[in-house]
Structure 1
């Protein structure tokens, strides 16, 4: 699961897209919430390790760098 999450982060998928897979990846004896928490932790780790911003953060960074119109 960690490798899948890291791969999806590298492909530029949003956090919501990745977490949306939690139900299908949940193993017997675990809850979907447990899996979603593990996936969120893996996403944070992957984004930090490779300095990959979430797609929403990249959009906000582009918007905030633009000069304001007078």
Structure 2
């Protein structure tokens, strides 16, 4: 009986761990966008590989952003 109780507790802790993982570590679109905004002073500072086509990287208000062509 004790063994079943221990196994149930392990399973419960595993489920709690998964829930915590999803709540705190799953990125949203806003966090992905924030990570892409690199600081810049001129357009040359922005990486060309940062954006997917047909968008290009552009220095806007001191940060690189992807802009539609």
More helix by share: 1
**Which structure has the higher relative contact order (CA within 8 Å, separation 6+)?**
1
Q: TM-score, normalised by structure 1?
A: 0.30
Q: TM-score, normalised by structure 2?
A: 0.30
